[in-house]
Amino acid sequence: MTSVIQLEECRERIRKELDTVVDFWLRYSHDPDHGGFFNCIGRDGKVYDDLKYVWLQGRQVWMYCRLYRTVERFHKPEILEAAKAGGAFLRRFARVSGGCGGDWKCAFCLTRDGKPVKIQRTIFSECFYILAMDELSRVTGDTDMQLEANQMMEQLIYWVQEDASGLGRPQLAGDAPTNNMAVPMMLLCLVHQITEGRGPDVVGKYRKLGCWCVQQILQHIQRNGTAILENVSPEGGELPGCKGRLQNPGHALEAGWFLLQFSAEQSDQVLQRTAINKYLKLPFQDGWDKKHGGLFYFLDVDKHCPTQLEWNMKLWWPHCEALIAFLMAYKQTKNPELLQRFFQVYEYTFSHFPDCQGGEWFGYLTQEGKVALDFKGGPFKGFFHVPRCLYMYLFS
Amino acid sequence: MTSVIQLEECRERIRKELDTVVDFWLRYSHDPDHGGFFNCIGRDGKVYDDLKYVWLQGRQVWMYCRLYRTVERFHKPEILEAAKAGGAFLRRFARVSGGCGGDWKCAFCLTRDGKPVKIQRTIFSECFYILAMDELSRVTGDTDMQLEANQMMEQLIYWVQEDASGLGRPQLAGDAPTNNMAVPMMLLCLVHQITEGRGPDVVGKYRKLGCWCVQQILQHIQRNGTAILENVSPEGGELPGCKGRLQNPGHALEAGWFLLQFSAEQSDQVLQRTAINKYLKLPFQDGWDKKHGGLFYFLDVDKHCPTQLEWNMKLWWPHCEALIAFLMAYKQTKNPELLQRFFQVYEYTFSHFPDCQGGEWFGYLTQEGKVALDFKGGPFKGFFHVPRCLYMYLFS
């Protein structure tokens, strides 16, 4: 009972935090001259680089629309206009035609006025493009935009399931085919986005893909069920070396709540149990720093030192994912142990990441919990993980 | 006078350290089954991944040959055989034919048995391949190998000075042409390698290229001579954003001793002064952590927070470069201020990086100087910076 009261007490803090975060991005990130959003925003709100990262452009459009569409106090013209301007910028500039990806490949990074700077040979820019277009079209009713999202989704599925050569990565004899967890996770996230609240035809069309994604994610349970590994073979076997032993606890926790969401939609209690026992409890158990608190960024399942220089840093987003995951799991099961984990993450997160002075959150702490990089927005940190986590606390 | 005595005292320590380091790699890094060297070697000497990184394969061949060729106590069959086995592995597997780089592009990373895993769209694998082949051919007298090194060098010059499209990077409208300091630095290093001790025909052939490299490096002096920036425009102007403001103090110090070496060869006192004032003193002044000691990895010239997560870490190699640079500058000028800097770096380096128990050095410390990654060899740390620095102290 106390726990439920505690949850209510958190609510007020989280409501205020969400307002502060939305204010921050409304105030500092809009580019009235070229459209789209500034992503690189310093501690005090000053833009320190005007490059525009497509992942973050797409995510910001999505988040604005989601808030506008579902939360009364964010149903403001200012937010709608910003989302539309972001969507227009993406549609005008993100797709880079002429490469081997046909007309569907998106840039990773654009100049302020929309010229492509870098293309990644992965599917993630396209994923966030689709996420943005689907959500924006729900707000505006733009059927062309909806169609574009669906068409790009088809291309994405082709790249993932049929032939990845359009992404431009050369096939090399020593580069073992890999099921990287990010790929089925992102596809599952898109399936959820595209089918949510839609009719049985759309839901039916993507059912098989959703199941395939779940099955691909479940392949990452390794070592006789004692560990989640980030990369496995397409047959679900362990890969050799550092790549095969890599763990990313925040990512596993995110996959966990994707699976919980899917299990709820399908009323699949076996999947729910697997999600909790394997994708929530294991990464938390291995990933939580017993000495300093917080979740490590990367680990090696055999306790070798990871080769990623930032392995022991505490990043904001794994903590956001952990909060979502444990609260969702608690709501579905009412198991108090899961609520206790939630509060443990909550305590660390809210005492370390938010910047009480300048608003928004710091993103990157040392192992000991000191702010190591003090910007609010950067190439991989935008208006997404923090507001999504706060929003899902309040409205899911 | 005290300082000169101190230098003699360091000598004994450095001699022992070099022996320990050579022993470590002789003992743990050789692959008797497939040739080449294991690169990923843990704290205790255990191989934690059997991938073979071409940069590090080439560097290890070079370092073994250099020791074998110039230091009596390393003139041992064991070292020669290891270098030859590394060279044979590179010649057999490093070049990846069939791509857009013709027959000259090298992989970045190979499996244990030599299959390509990854290709970088840069020139650095090829640079270390040439470095290895030139030095190995000096030891073995293999003229075919020498010829191959020279031919690859021609290809490299073409990619850098004429047309980079063979490297496989798409030309994008927003990707501003850049003079990245690593490129002329590496070319200058190769010019030094290829011409050292050779006749006037070879020296003459590369004289113009050497001068071009120096001129390209000098373009990185920016902000009215108050800062070295890592990336500038091909015309020597400042580039916008984080990329343009990036500083890498260790890299600038390395460029510094490359310039000092060149200035000595050419008896160019103006260049010597520039090297010391701009490439040694400025990076040290900005890059030395006044609070915790040691050199930062990355900085932003306008004091924004760098976006590299590892910006405030202390890496072994910038300290190696600083030791070489300040000692070389002192030897050339006898300016005691430079020797004082040397001792300051020496003190930090030898009290933080060497592992007294397991031998060799740790490579990656937190800002506060604690070991953050405890392996001795990894994807970017091999048998190169540490022994080169110790060797140059003793024998240059």
Residues 6+ apart with CB under 8 A from B231: B178, B179, B180, B181, B239, B243, B244, B246
Considering only the beta carbons, identify the residue of B50, B366, B378 that sits closest to A307.
Answer: B378
Q: Is residue A203 within 8 Å of residue A195, measured between CB atoms? A: yes
* Model confidence band, residue B101 (pLDDT cutoffs 50, 70, 90): low
For A215, A304, A308, A329, the CA distances from A299, given in Å and listed in that order, are 24, 8, 9, 24
Distance CA B298, CA B332 (A): 28
Start-to-end Cα distance in chain A: 20
pLDDT at B100 (0 to 100): 61
Residues 6+ apart with CB under 8 A from A31: A37, A38, A50, A52, A112
**What's the whole-number average pLDDT of chain B?**
96
> CA angle, corner A143, sides to A190 and A105, nearest 5?
50
Q: Is residue B250 within 8 Å of residue B310, measured between CB atoms? A: no
Residues 6+ apart with CB under 8 A from A134: A146, A149, A190, A193, A194
* Model confidence band, residue B230 (pLDDT cutoffs 50, 70, 90): very high
pLDDT at B213 (0 to 100): 98
pLDDT at A101 (0 to 100): 63
Distance CA A250, CA B138 (A): 51
pLDDT at A9 (0 to 100): 87
- Structural fold of domain B178-353: Glycosyltransferase (1.50.10)
pLDDT at B57 (0 to 100): 98
Q: Is residue A63 within 8 Å of residue A383, measured between CB atoms? A: yes
Considering only the beta carbons, identify the residue of A172, A307, A364 that sits closest to B309.
Answer: A364
If you average pLDDT over residues B295-311, what whole number do you get? 98
pLDDT at B97 (0 to 100): 77
Which residue bears the tokens 């949510």? A196
Residues 6+ apart with CB under 8 A from B280: B253, B256, B325, B326, B329, B338, B341
Considering only the beta carbons, identify the residue of A109, A110, A119 that sits closest to B170.
Answer: A119
Give tens-digit pLDDT for A343-356.
999 999 999 999 99
Question: Could you give the percent of chain A with pLDDT greater than 70?
Answer: 98
Measured between beta carbons, the chain A residues lying within 8 angstroms of B241 are 40, 48-51
For A332, B31, B35, B314, the CA distances from B25, given in Å and listed in that order, are 55, 11, 14, 23
Distance CA B34, CA B109 (A): 15
Give tens-digit pLDDT for A112-124.
999 999 999 999 9
* Model confidence band, residue B279 (pLDDT cutoffs 50, 70, 90): very high
Buried b (16+ CB within 10 A) or exposed e, B101-113: beebbbbbbbbbe
If you average pLDDT over residues A54-72, what whole number do you get? 98
Give the residue from chain A lying closest to B175, CA to CA.
Answer: A117
* Model confidence band, residue B290 (pLDDT cutoffs 50, 70, 90): very high
pLDDT at A98 (0 to 100): 65
Start-to-end Cα distance in chain B: 20
* Model confidence band, residue B6 (pLDDT cutoffs 50, 70, 90): confident
pLDDT at B9 (0 to 100): 87
pLDDT at A332 (0 to 100): 98
Q: Is residue A41 within 8 Å of residue A21, measured between CB atoms? A: no
Nearest partner of A29 among A75, A88, A83, A67, judged by Cα: A83
* Model confidence band, residue A336 (pLDDT cutoffs 50, 70, 90): very high
If you average pLDDT over residues A61-69, what whole number do you get? 98
* Model confidence band, residue B98 (pLDDT cutoffs 50, 70, 90): low
Nearest partner of A276 among A213, A331, A203, A212, judged by Cα: A331
Query: Looking at the predicted structure, is the pLDDT value of residue A99 above 70?
Result: no
Question: Rounded to an integer, what is the distance from CA A264 to the centroid of its chain?
Answer: 20
Give tens-digit pLDDT for B167-216.
988 899 999 999 999 999 999 999 999 999 999 999 999 999 999 999 99
Give the residue from chain B lying closest to A96, CA to CA.
Answer: B172
Contact A116 B240 (CB under 8 A): no
Specify the 3-state DSSP secondary structure of A355. Answer: coil
Distance CA A282, CA A278 (A): 5
Distance CA A120, CA A108 (A): 6
- Phi/psi of residue A305, each to 5°? -75, 125
Give tens-digit pLDDT for B317-372.
999 999 999 999 999 999 999 999 999 999 999 999 999 999 999 999 999 999 99
Distance CA A1, CA B373 (A): 44
Distance CA B74, CA B67 (A): 6
Q: How many CB pairs under 8 A join A and B?
A: 116
Of A92-106, A149-163, B115-129, the one with minimum mean pLDDT is A92-106
Q: Is residue A109 within 8 Å of residue A51, measured between CB atoms? A: yes
Query: Looking at the predicted structure, is the pLDDT value of residue B270 above 80?
Result: yes
Query: Looking at the predicted structure, is the pLDDT value of residue A1 above 70?
Result: no
* Model confidence band, residue B291 (pLDDT cutoffs 50, 70, 90): very high
Which residue bears the tokens 């999947």? A271
**In chain B, which residues touch A (CB < 8 A)?**
40, 42-43, 48-51, 96, 99, 107, 109-111, 114-119, 170, 172-175, 240-242, 304-307, 309-313, 364, 366-367, 372-375, 378-379
Give tens-digit pLDDT for A275-300.
999 999 999 999 999 999 999 999 99
Q: Is residue A358 within 8 Å of residue A36, measured between CB atoms? A: no
Give the side-chain half-sphere CA count within 13 A for A22: 27
Query: Looking at the predicted structure, is the pLDDT value of residue A303 above 60?
Result: yes
Q: Maximum Cα–Cα distance for chain B, whole Å?
A: 60
Contact A175 B366 (CB under 8 A): no
Contact A170 B119 (CB under 8 A): yes
In the numeric block, which tokens belong to residue B181? Answer: 């300091």
For A193, B227, B239, B242, the CA distances from B223, given in Å and listed in that order, are 49, 6, 12, 15
Element (H, E) at B300: strand B299-300
| Residues B195, B196, B199, B201, Cα dihedral to 10° | 10
Question: Could you give the percent of chain B with pLDDT greater than 70?
Answer: 98
Of A3-12, A64-73, A241-250, B149-158, the one with minimum mean pLDDT is A3-12
Q: Is residue A87 within 8 Å of residue A136, measured between CB atoms? A: yes
* Model confidence band, residue A2 (pLDDT cutoffs 50, 70, 90): low
Specify the 3-state DSSP secondary structure of A2. Answer: helix
CATH number of A1-167: 1.50.10.10
Q: For chain A, where do the domains classified as CATH 1.50.10.10 start and end?
A: 1-167, 178-353
pLDDT at B103 (0 to 100): 86
* Model confidence band, residue A3 (pLDDT cutoffs 50, 70, 90): confident
Give rounded-to-5 percent helix, strand, coil for chain A: 55, 10, 30
Considering only the beta carbons, identify the residue of A49, A175, A309 that sits closest to B364.
Answer: A309
In the numeric block, which tokens belong to residue A69? Answer: 């569409």
Sign of CA dihedral A379, A233, A186, A271: negative
Residues 6+ apart with CB under 8 A from A72: none
Contact A375 B43 (CB under 8 A): no
Give tens-digit pLDDT for B67-86.
999 999 999 999 999 999 99
Q: Look at strands A109-110 and A116-118 and give their pairing.
A: antiparallel
Distance CA B83, CA B60 (A): 7
Does pTM surpass 0.95? yes
Q: Is residue B394 within 8 Å of residue B13, measured between CB atoms? A: no
Q: Maximum Cα–Cα distance for chain A, whole Å?
A: 60
ipTM value for the complex: 0.96
Distance CA A172, CA B106 (A): 12
Nearest partner of A61 among A95, A32, A31, A37, judged by Cα: A37
pLDDT at A373 (0 to 100): 98
Residues 6+ apart with CB under 8 A from B292: B367, B368, B369
> CA angle, corner A238, sides to A235 and A239, nearest 5?
100
Contact B241 A49 (CB under 8 A): yes
Specify the 3-state DSSP secondary structure of B232. Answer: strand
Considering only the beta carbons, identify the residue of B51, B99, B240 that sits closest to A170.
Answer: B99
Query: Looking at the predicted structure, is the pLDDT value of residue B156 above 70?
Result: yes
In the numeric block, which tokens belong to residue A129? Answer: 């493009």
Contact B305 A373 (CB under 8 A): yes
Contact A107 B172 (CB under 8 A): yes
Query: Looking at the predicted structure, is the pLDDT value of residue B2 above 70?
Result: no
**What's the whole-number average pLDDT of chain A?**
96
pLDDT at B1 (0 to 100): 56
If you average pLDDT over residues A29-42, what whole number do you get? 97
Give tens-digit pLDDT for A313-324.
999 999 999 999
Question: Rounded to an integer, what is the distance from CA A388 to the centroid of its chain?
Answer: 9
Give tens-digit pLDDT for B128-147.
999 999 999 999 999 999 99
Distance CA B63, CA B391 (A): 9
For A181, A350, B29, the CA distances from A284, given in Å and listed in that order, are 17, 18, 35
* Model confidence band, residue A28 (pLDDT cutoffs 50, 70, 90): very high
Which residue bears the tokens 């071409």? B54
Instruction: State the nearest Cα–Cα gap between B87 and chain A, in angstroms.
Output: 20
Give the residue from chain B lying closest to A368, CA to CA.
Answer: B366
pLDDT at B219 (0 to 100): 98
* Model confidence band, residue A102 (pLDDT cutoffs 50, 70, 90): confident
Number of neighbouring beta carbons within 10 Å of residue B77:
8
Specify the 3-state DSSP secondary structure of A236. Answer: coil
